[in-house]
Structure 1
Amino acid sequence: MSSQRPPKAKKVPSERTHHGDTVVDEYAWLTVKEDPDTIAYLEAENAYTEEATAHLKPLQETLFQEIKNRTLETDLSVPTRKGAWWYYSRTEEGKQYGIQCRVAAQGETPPELKADEALPGEEVLLDGNELAAGGDFFAIGTSSVSPDGTRLAYSVNFTGDERFTLRIKDLTTGEVLPDEIPGIFYGGAWSADGSVFFYTTVDEAWRPNQVHRHTVGTPAEDDVLVHQEDDERFWIGIGLTRSERFLVLSSGSKITSEVRVLEADDPTGEFRLIRPRETGVEYGVDHAGDHFLVLHNRNGENFELATAPLDSPGDWTPLVEHREDTRLLDVDAFAGYTVVHFRRDGLTGIRVLPRDGEPYEIPFPEPIYDVGPAGNPEFVTERLRLGYTSMVTPPSMYDYDLRARELILLKQKAVLGGYDPADYEQFREWATASDGTRIPISIVVRKDTERPAPTVLYGYGSYETSMDPSFSIARLSLLDRGFVFAVAHVRGGGEMGRRWYEDGKFQKKKNTFTDFVAAAEHLKAEDWSSSVIARGGSAGGLLMGAVANIAPETFAGVVAEVPFVDALNSMLDPSLPLTVIEWDEWGDPLHDPEVYAYMKSYTPYENVDGRVYPPILAITSLNDTRVLYHEPAKWVARLRDVAAGGPFLLKTEMGAGHGGRSGRYDAWREEAFTLSWILDTAKVSR
């Protein structure tokens, strides 16, 4: 560790009063990004972290090389058929970003592509390496080919703030057209003839609130505002059904949906409302030939699937009724089949509803896994593309023959260096929470690891987002050094259905934290773990800060990435990005004193005290628009001032956003940095 003294943030007392409660925030000045003192403080923290981890440089390089050497650097995806073309992406050794390509279709089966050989007639749609032009950050927000395959709409960002510039490329000539629209959000949709592109923009609070119509070849200032969402709890998006017959304009809050549709061959027409918004009712729509499919929760929290006439889309007739044990996640409409993606007993699954036969579910052999539809743009097809993975099985792409009911493996992600899945085992354990609820834990470990062993326990637990069992090349560097890796599927996530989510939000949010502590204690009690290092990011970073407060003695270390640790102050400020939208997730402490008191009782920044805390590594990005950099900066400053233990390290990416550095080699180095800290904290030096 460094002999240098850690930076000490200046204290500038700032008072705020809510619901009769006056609080002094000495580090509120760090919220001013333009203040030179803020940048100087972040840079001082970076310098301290750099020196404090200098002894880990050789290990970091070793770990980076392990990740790199296990990765097939020149590789390509399985081609996906769309119209007259097969689309795919590829990577090249030494290059940071992917390359999007296509080749003309010569039959019904995918072409045999070789990773190190370009196909005759290959057309490069986008080369991220050329577009990035050597900059520190690069991201593509939209990449959408028109239905006739002649135009590509794409958007790029070079700072990490998730505000993109839209361009149009003529795929018949390779020319990038003069059209240029700055400040757009993710996504977008083409009209049927490819003459019009619809896109979304955000308001000052970074809420997607407008859909615009752009006619190719016209100035951006002539674009037409199609729809504006004025309710600050709602955001909007625009898409095209798989059949390409309807544009779908969706408005949604955390708990309520409203959908409009428009025939894609009439882009200047008026969108039709499917059904007016009804508080607490969420629904989504797809087109299935002579009817719409509607996935909704009007009659049950785990959702049901209904049909609706095209000319009367608000009349819903049940097709797959609600089940208490099965959460319906999504529906895909095809000409001859309906495919439902669902969740049951903590695992995902696929149910097929043929138009001319009985429904059935696709079986999978492993005890824990994750499966879902992947890349199915064709409406008329007898094959369903599936993505599959587990904690020991690398990401695998299958075609499922819907008529023969047969899985056909197309490709499994290569893992170089002699990886053998038979050397590893995965398990499902169940911890018991303080209220008696059973909490699932997914575990992976090398078969020859002596237990109990040092353990990384990962968690998230918000937004009904599920941390499903999945594979990681970088994780092998821990497993091969004798670690156990586990995921705690805590309440607030969606692993066990909608009720699991509801029991970990609002006034039940503390269940998320106590579930995670129960999972860590279970791993120790059952001789899985000799010590536990907790890891989580974003809302999972809130989880990290909360468990460090309530049970610091349980953890040997904490990694908090882009952590939402100043949640109360953020939820009190409606001018910040996403705050009003987020009130439907956390509650509204600005106007509700009970919510204020409850949030104040658990938010990490508010509850740092003088107890002995484990070592903490906080990682953030200066241009993050989802969790602002000042949350972990303030948190670490308060930990340094108030808490015992540590050390407490803050690392800020000065040119990145919520996802960290954008290039794959840069991302591998960042992961190697984090893994080296974990190994060092667990006293595993090799």
Structure 2
Amino acid sequence: MTPDGPIAYPETARDDIVEELAGRRIADPWRWLEGDVRHDERVAAWVKVQADLTAAYLDTLPGRGAIRERLTGLWNYERVSVPRRRGGRYFFRRNSGLEAQPVLCVRDMLDAAPRVLLDPAGWSGDGATALGEWEPSKDGKRVVYAVQDGGSDWRTLRVLDVTSGETLADEVRWVKFSGLAWAGNGSGFFYSRFPEPRAGLEHQAQNLDHGIYFHRLGTDQSADFLVYATSDRPRLIHAGEVSEDGRWLLISSAEGTEARTELIVIDLTAPKLAPKILVRGLENDWRLAGSKGDVFYFVTDLEAPRRRIVSIDVGSEMRRRREIVAHGEDLVADALVVGDRLLVSVLRNVASELRLYDLDGRLMDTVALPGVGAVAAMEGDGSSAEAFFAFTSYDRPTEIHRLDVASAAVLPYAQPSLSFDRDSFVVEQSAATSRDGTVIPLFLLRRRDVTGPAPTMLYGYGGFEISLTPGFSPAALGWVAMGGVYAVANIRGGGEYGKAWHDGGRRANKQNVFDDFIAAAEQLQVDGTASRIVIHGHSNGGLLVAAVTNQRPDLFAAALPAVGVHDMLRFHRFTAGRYWIDDYGDPGREEDLAVLLGYSPIHNIRDGVDYPPILIATADTDDRVVPAHSFKYAAALQTAQIGLKPHLIRIETRAGHGSGKPTAKQIEEVADLWAFAAYWSGLAV
């Protein structure tokens, strides 16, 4: 086998299944590939043959070992999360560089030496069991934490005693899509879960009947009591937060991925826990910024497509809303009550600014940031004037800074040592014009000495109101270090410019997403940036890559769709897929089906057209976007008459949608993808 030689694909059996949807009869010949690889021997055999074929092909690629070595060096830097202060202690996650998983650490005082509380290294032999969500109690004496195994979205909760370092006997299972909130007195915690799924369907069955429960320390999970659920609306998902004074439980409920929530409050000091409606209906976005007594502060898009901040007195029967920070030209990305201030992160032209307001909404100061980039996270509370924030950019690994909100003074708290010279790289912003005249921003990262057209990796997402803000990626820097250009397109469907930008790329407007991405690729060639273009995307971005490959196969040197949604007629039938109807539409509705059929990757592969090389990436434990999407897409590509270039699938084991993947597996996957992309784009390794 050679990289550009013919490939003998294994034959994939076809079913005769034809399904009727909204009056249309649609064939689904690879329905059998929806079986769970853990329990279906036929699917497992197909996966084994495909994995062996791809491994044999990847072994032929020149320079893969050198790419892996370079990536390993770039990945080897300290990564620290924003600390959470509880009871005078500071809790944070840290990876020294190449550890399989980050560890949980604590400082007993601000400048005390850190000590390790939890190290997942001993939780499994392959490093694929990770620390998921975690939350210290308000007095800092205990931590409830989630164990994530093999990349699955399912979690098991445990509790750690911070002083002794001992893990308590408490165990809570079948937790998913859950926040963690301690009772004010530390007696237990609130969490969210689904009912235990049927055996064999853990990673495929639809997730319904989410509920918020309370677990009292020292008791069995069977004694946990249901605090809130909506049996009449089983599709709702619920998250609970406890107010800083411990009096109120705020419950946010949503039906899908669109930011439309209703709010319930429960007075935890009342003799009976009685839910009271704070915001009725699923119409607007409401995000808690913090509270002062009974006054809650929210970021909302109510009458504000770029969001504003309002307060609500939850203790008042009237629960009147008061505007604190008005709607403006810039997008309100996040807000936090810290001391007697509101710390507000805004996006201006896809870069962050930090502003300080008093609690009446008067602008008090602007926080000096280290450069042009993104505020990735903020931590603080109303009891102290101390806050922390993370800052990053394409050429700047995440730094942690400490902020005194009274003076707006910023001090570095944790800055990684760099294994590269930042001055040898350049970050630029440009733009493309989409088919309908919309201007699409582009970020470019390149080596300073690369001044002419170069092989370019174009990344995009375009969905679910997720903003692609500047952020450091050792994978991106690895491509650039080889002499390539790394480009990120801020296409519609994301949240970079608020609700209208999101709405412009969802449901009936989804084609705008693909037009924007194609326009970005064309602009990179027109302006002399790109010699050849490789496209890359994850999840909804994997859908993006597959869809534009169908629409413009002539434009790309290679395509790398990862953990993508590729069967747009059946995405809603598995695990959390039903939430995505907000963005994609409902395949059971005639008008939505027509749109979905127009771009669904497996339904729009064009026989008789020469396609670029494609390397699909997925994982066997992905229970967010089930791997059947990628399996069926690979079968469709390999069966179609689309030319002689390779169309392969890389299937990771003991991994999921992305979170919790061990560092070594991350490096290995990127090395494979980049070696494939480098060969077909002409990038010298």
Answer whether TM exceeds 0.5 for this pair: yes
1:102 is matched with which residue: 90, 101, 106? 106
The alpha-carbon distance between structure 1 residues 345 and 238, as it changes in their structure 2 partners (threshold 3 A), is same
| In 2, Cα distance between equivalents of 1:392 and 1:21 | 50
TM-score by length of 1: 0.91
Amino acid at match of 1:647: P
Give, in angstroms, the shift of residue 365 of structure 1.
Answer: 6.7
| In 2, Cα distance between equivalents of 1:559 and 1:660 | 19
Could you say which residue in structure 1 is the equivalent of 2:169?
Answer: 178
Give, in angstroms, the shift of residue 685 of structure 1.
Answer: 4.1
- Greater alpha carbon shift after TM alignment, 19-28 vs 245-254: 245-254
Could you say which residue in structure 2 is the equivalent of 1:272?
Answer: 276
1:201-280 equivalences under 5 Å are 201-202=193-194, 204-207=205-208, 209-230=210-231, 231-242=233-244, 244-253=246-255, 254-263=258-267, 269-277=273-281, 279-280=282-283
Amino acid at match of 2:407: A
1:149-548 equivalences under 5 Å are 149-185=140-176, 186-202=178-194, 204-207=205-208, 209-230=210-231, 231-242=233-244, 244-253=246-255, 254-263=258-267, 269-277=273-281, 279-285=282-288, 286-289=290-293, 291-312=295-316, 314-323=319-328, 325-355=329-359, 358-364=363-369, 366=371, 368-376=372-380, 378-416=381-419, 419-548=420-549
Could you say which residue in structure 1 is the equivalent of 2:24?
Answer: 21
| In 2, Cα distance between equivalents of 1:481 and 1:94 | 21
Q: Judge conservation of contact 1:343–1:497 (CA < 8 Å) in 2.
A: no
1:632-675 CA-to-partner distances (Å, cap 9, x unmatched) read: 11111111111413310101123221117721122222222222
Could you say which residue in structure 2 is the equivalent of 1:116?
Answer: none
| In 2, Cα distance between equivalents of 1:493 and 1:372 | 16
Give, in angstroms, the shift of residue 422 of structure 1.
Answer: 1.4
1:205-262 CA-to-partner distances (Å, cap 9, x unmatched) read: 2257111111111221111111113424421112234555533221113252112233
- Greater alpha carbon shift after TM alignment, 2-11 vs 436-445: 2-11
Question: Which secondary structure does the structure 2 equivalent of 1:414 belong to?
Answer: coil
Give, in angstroms, the shift of residue 496 of structure 1.
Answer: 1.9
Could you say which residue in structure 2 is the equivalent of 1:137?
Answer: 128
Question: Which secondary structure does the structure 2 equivalent of 1:140 belong to?
Answer: strand
Could you say which residue in structure 2 is the equivalent of 1:70?
Answer: 74
1:378-413 CA-to-partner distances (Å, cap 9, x unmatched) read: 422333312112222222222233233333222323
Q: Judge conservation of contact 1:305–1:320 (CA < 8 Å) in 2.
A: yes
1:35 aligns with 2:40: yes
Amino acid at match of 2:682: K
| In 2, Cα distance between equivalents of 1:336 and 1:265 | 25
| In 1, Cα distance between equivalents of 2:223 and 2:413 | 46
Give, in angstroms, the shift of residue 355 of structure 1.
Answer: 4.3
| In 1, Cα distance between equivalents of 2:307 and 2:95 | 39
The alpha-carbon distance between structure 1 residues 309 and 239, as it changes in their structure 2 partners (threshold 3 A), is closer
Give, in angstroms, the shift of residue 296 of structure 1.
Answer: 2.1
Q: Judge conservation of contact 1:464–1:501 (CA < 8 Å) in 2.
A: yes
Amino acid at match of 2:501: W
TM-score by length of 2: 0.91
| In 1, Cα distance between equivalents of 2:435 and 2:540 | 22
Give, in angstroms, the shift of residue 609 of structure 1.
Answer: 1.1
Q: Judge conservation of contact 2:254–2:261 (CA < 8 Å) in 1.
A: yes
| In 2, Cα distance between equivalents of 1:450 and 1:301 | 39
1:9-60 CA-to-partner distances (Å, cap 9, x unmatched) read: 111121001122111111111112233111111111110000111123x733
Q: Judge conservation of contact 2:294–2:315 (CA < 8 Å) in 1.
A: no
| In 2, Cα distance between equivalents of 1:156 and 1:619 | 25
- Greater alpha carbon shift after TM alignment, 268-277 vs 632-641: 268-277
1:48-98 CA-to-partner distances (Å, cap 9, x unmatched) read: 000111123x73332232233234467766755332213233345764222
Percent of pairs with identical residues: 27
| In 2, Cα distance between equivalents of 1:93 and 1:589 | 44
| In 2, Cα distance between equivalents of 1:632 and 1:173 | 46
Could you say which residue in structure 2 is the equivalent of 1:594?
Answer: 591
Q: Judge conservation of contact 1:136–1:655 (CA < 8 Å) in 2.
A: no
The RMSD of aligned alpha carbons is 2.3
| In 1, Cα distance between equivalents of 2:17 and 2:393 | 49
Q: Judge conservation of contact 1:242–1:333 (CA < 8 Å) in 2.
A: no
| In 2, Cα distance between equivalents of 1:146 and 1:379 | 16
Segments of structure 1 that go 5 or more residues without pairing to the other structure are 114-118
The alpha-carbon distance between structure 1 residues 421 and 268, as it changes in their structure 2 partners (threshold 3 A), is farther
Amino acid at match of 2:378: A
Amino acid at match of 2:566: V
- Greater alpha carbon shift after TM alignment, 384-393 vs 165-174: 165-174
Give, in angstroms, the shift of residue 487 of structure 1.
Answer: 0.3
Question: Which secondary structure does the structure 1 equivalent of 2:673 belong to?
Answer: helix
The alpha-carbon distance between structure 1 residues 478 and 199, as it changes in their structure 2 partners (threshold 3 A), is same
The alpha-carbon distance between structure 1 residues 171 and 373, as it changes in their structure 2 partners (threshold 3 A), is closer
| In 2, Cα distance between equivalents of 1:275 and 1:661 | 35
Q: Judge conservation of contact 2:83–2:379 (CA < 8 Å) in 1.
A: no
Q: Judge conservation of contact 1:620–1:660 (CA < 8 Å) in 2.
A: no
Give, in angstroms, the shift of residue 577 of structure 1.
Answer: 1.6
Question: Which secondary structure does the structure 2 equivalent of 1:624 belong to?
Answer: coil
| In 1, Cα distance between equivalents of 2:403 and 2:502 | 31
Question: Which secondary structure does the structure 2 equivalent of 1:280 belong to?
Answer: strand
The alpha-carbon distance between structure 1 residues 82 and 489, as it changes in their structure 2 partners (threshold 3 A), is same
Amino acid at match of 1:41: W
The alpha-carbon distance between structure 1 residues 594 and 290, as it changes in their structure 2 partners (threshold 3 A), is closer
| In 1, Cα distance between equivalents of 2:647 and 2:272 | 56
Could you say which residue in structure 2 is the equivalent of 1:627?
Answer: 625
Amino acid at match of 2:15: V
- Greater alpha carbon shift after TM alignment, 459-468 vs 300-309: 300-309
The alpha-carbon distance between structure 1 residues 29 and 525, as it changes in their structure 2 partners (threshold 3 A), is same
| In 2, Cα distance between equivalents of 1:340 and 1:78 | 16
1:607-646 equivalences under 5 Å are 607-610=604-607, 611-645=609-643, 646=645
| In 2, Cα distance between equivalents of 1:547 and 1:281 | 31
Q: Which runs of 4+ in 1 moved over 6 A?
A: none
The alpha-carbon distance between structure 1 residues 208 and 388, as it changes in their structure 2 partners (threshold 3 A), is farther
Q: Judge conservation of contact 1:232–1:581 (CA < 8 Å) in 2.
A: no
Question: Which secondary structure does the structure 2 equivalent of 1:627 belong to?
Answer: coil
